[in-house]
Amino acid sequence: MTANDPSPNHLQLTRDGQLRHFLTLDGLGRELLTDILDTADSFIEVGERSIKKVPLLRGRTVVNLFFESSTRTRSTFELAAKRLSADVLNLDINTSATSKGESLSDTLLNLEAMASDMFVVRHSQSGAPHFIAESVTPGVAIINAGDGRHAHPTQAMLDMLTIRQHKGRFEGLKVAIVGDVLHSRVARSQIRALNELGAEEVRVIAPGTLLPRDVEDLGCTVEYDMARGMKDLDVVIMLRLQKERMEGALLPSEREFYRLYGLNQEKLALARPDCIVMHPGPINRGVEIESAVADGPQSVILNQVTNGIAIRMAVMSMAMGGQMAERQQKQTDSEGHRA
């Protein structure tokens, strides 16, 4: 395996298959995804203690590098890093360096000079975390916190954790993802994770204008009619409708969208009675989901937020652990070489 191998896994995994960056779910097998979920389960227990902190990343510096704004994702990453005992630096790049004309590479060089051990990266351009992972100093872990329309792997994994908590399994589950799949990095990562973990059917429900071309190739079935799509569902995941899409002529109107694809109690009643309702947040009440459903007994939206902290703790500690084990291995190898 060479350094310029194009497959993401030579970038993401160490020689012995440990995580060292977390950029995409592509190429990660069921066993590793299950390890992430199991590790997160243990971190959920840590979150219930009187001292919600473990010493794994003590003395390490984690930089939250957000080139695109976010409240929930950034704060759960921050809390996750702090509960692992890391020192955390939050950088909102929109408003700082790049506006002064500094290039991405220069910003990174400066942060590396501050002896950072991990960058959590959100960027509006697909592939930015990969680019950083390729150029960063060895030993520094990169975590993708959402890049363009490409991937949002920690969000997908916290959703998987939530599904497993409520359903106990993936086999035999019918899961639908509803809404703006076209612009959604969350949906792409979810479809990938659900297929890898063995869900029976992943269904996308949306108007044709909000679906990517050849969407079936991602590993899902397509339904344009929501009433038909709700049938037999175990899990329904609503996507956020970004209001600016309304102006792009992809949709007739907000009201029309809600009438056709908004989730209300009548439509939810068409799914299985124990169907859970998920949403990556922030929710637009009355645009994609009715308040009675968002706050109702089948909603697990707030569980998703709690699980987000545990998943991020799992991914951060696994990637940092992989980096450190690899460094140790290299040291041992070079000592063996000299001897």
Partner 1 sequence: MTALMDINQLLDELETGLRRILEQRGIDNPVLIGIRTGGVWLADVIGKRLGIEQPFGELDISFYRDDFSRIGLNPKVKPSSLPFDTEGRDIILIDDVIMSGRTIRAAMNEIFDYGRPASIILATLIDLGARELPIQPDVVGHSLALEAHQRVKLRGPEPLRIELQDSGQ
Q: Please enumerate, by residue number, every residue annotated as part of a binding site for carbamoyl phosphate.
A: 72-73, 122, 152, 155, 281-282
Give residues 262-321 in contact with partner 1 (rule: CB under 8 A): 317-318, 321
Q: How far apart are CA 281 and CA 268, in angstroms?
A: 19
Output 35-40 pairs: Cβ under 8 A, ≥24 positions apart: 35/318, 36/157, 36/311, 36/314, 36/315, 36/318, 37/157, 37/160, 37/161, 37/164, 37/314, 39/314, 39/317, 39/318, 40/157, 40/158, 40/161, 40/307, 40/310, 40/311, 40/313, 40/314
Report in angstroms how near the CB of residue 326 gets to partner 1 at its nearest: 8
Q: How far apart are CA 240 and CA 250, in angstroms?
A: 15
Near partner 1 by CB under 8 A, which window of 52-60, 138-146, 159-167, 251-259?
A: 52-60
Near partner 1 by CB under 8 A, which window of 49-57, 212-220, 240-248, 284-292?
A: 49-57
Between residues 59 and 273, which has the closer beta carbon with respect to partner 1?
A: 59
Near partner 1 by CB under 8 A, which window of 46-54, 70-78, 195-203, 289-297?
A: 46-54
Report in angstroms how near the CB of residue 37 gets to partner 1 at its nearest: 11
Report in angstroms how near the CB of residue 115 gets to partner 1 at its nearest: 15
Q: How far apart are CA 195 and CA 193, in angstroms?
A: 5
Which element (helix H / strand E) includes 192?
A: helix 185-197
Q: Which residues are annotated as a binding site for L-aspartate?
A: 100, 185, 240
The answer to whether residue 328 forms part of the interface with partner 1 (CB under 8 A) is yes
Give residues 10-39 in contact with partner 1 (rule: CB under 8 A): 18, 35, 38-39
Q: Could you tell me how many residues of this chain bind partner 1 (CB under 8 A)?
A: 23
Look at the alpha carbons of 4, 24, 313, 165 in this order and tell me if their dihedral is positive or negative. negative
Type of residue found at 13: L
For partner 1, the binding residues (CB under 8 A) are: 18, 35, 38-39, 41-42, 44-46, 49-51, 53-56, 317-318, 321-322, 324-325, 328
